[in-house]
Amino acid sequence: MDRQQMAAPAPRPCISCPYRRDVPSGIWHAREYAKLPPYDADTGSQPSGLFQCHQNDGDDLHRRICAGWAGCHDGGELLALRLAVIDGRIAPETAQAVVNYQSPVPLFDSGAEAAAHGLRDITTPASEALRAMEKIQRVRSDIIEHSPP
């Protein structure tokens, strides 16, 4: 793989992945949850950008495609995946890994469902969510700040 290309999804979605059903509500900023539903649209109306795992910065050499995104959406219908191969942002093998991805943990059935769950407690996160935010903030302080949606 070219060092500039994004890697395939991890074997399992991160413990703070917004697509996981067992992640506490409200741990991410509202603008992060707003990124999820547009990938539910018909292929031609979807965003053109790949959905990257939240555990790494955008320019990190270890960045990879979000395993929750890969498991929630039909990879064969993802516009971003098709364009990324054409543009050389991912290898064809990486795209195939997304298409074939099966999550070993339960995920929401859509980006809209995941976003609704995440936004539900965003103004009053539970203690479990606050602990998760503290862990995330050590790695990604740029995206954990909160403000009402």
Does residue 123 lie in a domain region? yes
pLDDT tens-digit series, residues 56-109: 665 666 789 999 999 999 999 999 999 999 999 999 999 999 999 999 999 999
pLDDT tens-digit series, residues 15-42: 999 999 999 999 999 999 999 999 999 9
26: left (phi over 0), alpha (psi -120 to 50) or beta: left
Q: Which pLDDT score, from 0 to 100, does residue 149 have?
A: 41
Most confidently predicted of 52-56, 66-70, 127-131: 66-70
- Residue 9 in this model has a pLDDT that exceeds 90: yes
Does residue 119 lie in a domain region? yes
| pTM, full prediction | 0.88
Residue 73, domain extent: 30-139
Structure tokens at 65: 């495609």
Does residue 56 lie in a domain region? yes
Residue 120, CA distances (Å) to 14, 33, 89, 114, 132 in order:
20, 11, 34, 10, 16
Maximum Cα–Cα distance for the chain, whole Å? 44
Number of domains the chain contains:
1
Does residue 17 lie in a domain region? no
